[in-house]
Structure 1
Amino acid sequence: MATKWVHPFVVWNGYVYVVSEQYVTEVGNEIGEVTKYSDMEQYPGNFSNVFKKGTRYYSIEGINTKEAIAIQDVNGIYIKADREEKYTFGDMTEEDSEQTDKYLFSSVIVLVILIPILTILFVIKNTKKQLS
């Protein structure tokens, strides 16, 4: 059973583009493609809930890509998709990424120090038991 999406969309360059019912004839350069398709869950990157992986994105002559892009469907027809909002799934700021890296590094350091100490204490405790 598929997820109920509000609308068909593609993600390009960190933004959601809602697929319209309007066809485009004046396309510009290829600007990207769908890297992941799913009708069940979200993914990072150039994700789509309607177009398969490999579906190509194009600029539209006379329209800034910040407003709309064209998607080439399986029949070679270009469909307009209007930019709606920032795509935040899996979005992590550089500051968040640095904090995560610091946390992971600190965790590894603690484990590298803690495991040998606990191992030594365990061996000492068991040795004392056996000597008693």
Structure 2
Amino acid sequence: MRMQMSVLSALFLACTLFIGTVKASWAYMFVVNNGSIYVISEEHVDPKQIGSKIGKVTSYSDQEGTYSGNFSNRYPKGTEYFEIIGLERKDAIAVKEKEGVYIKAAYEGEYAGDRNGWSDFYPYVVFGALIVFITMYFLKKRMIR
């Protein structure tokens, strides 16, 4: 019985490490507005070109992962987004860094971070199946005795 508990504990530990969170840095700085991702540039936008407010950062993280809402990996929660007069939102938006200072963010495409696919749940399915099979194995072995 002691051997079985050791094996079970080792398997549980291995599975826990397998599912652990991976922390990595983002490839580039960006903001997400209404499902669209915009890559932050170093280009300033003249305050005279700033149009109406179109959103703000609702969630921030500097660790790579899956997030929802108007997310940014550079700007804190509350940072505002604006239209740039003369440009479509599908081209670029302005991000307010501080009073009177706006940075251009170029449209990159649709942000897939809100969507969950099979690969997001795969480790949990494998872990669950492993626990079920181990439990069945030990129960069957107990019944044979």
Q: Which residue of 2 aligns with 1:84?
A: 108
How many residue pairs match? The answer is: 91
Does the 8 Å CA contact 2:66/2:114 hold for their aligned counterparts? no
Q: Which residue of 2 aligns with 1:35?
A: 58
Moved over 3 A (4+): none
Q: Distance in 2 between matches of 1:33 and 1:91?
A: 21
Q: Which residue of 1 aligns with 2:73?
A: 49
Q: Please give the residue correspondences for 1:41-120 in structure 2 after superposition, counting only pairs within 5 Å.
A: 41-91=65-115
For structure 2, the residue ranges without an aligned partner over 5 or more in a row are 1-22, 117-145
For structure 1, the residue ranges without an aligned partner over 5 or more in a row are 93-132
**Structure 1: which amino acid aligns with 2:24?**
T
**What TM-score do the two structures reach when normalised by structure 1?**
0.65
**What TM-score do the two structures reach when normalised by structure 2?**
0.59
3-state secondary structure, aligned to 2:98: coil
Q: CA RMSD in A?
A: 1.5
Q: Distance in 2 between matches of 1:31 and 1:79?
A: 15
Q: Distance in 2 between matches of 1:3 and 1:75?
A: 32
More helix by share: 2
Q: Offset of 1:5 from its aligned partner?
A: 1.1
Q: Offset of 1:74 from its aligned partner?
A: 3.1
Q: Offset of 1:13 from its aligned partner?
A: 1.4
User: What is the aligned counterpart of 1:22 among 32, 39, 43?
Assistant: 43
Larger Rg: 1
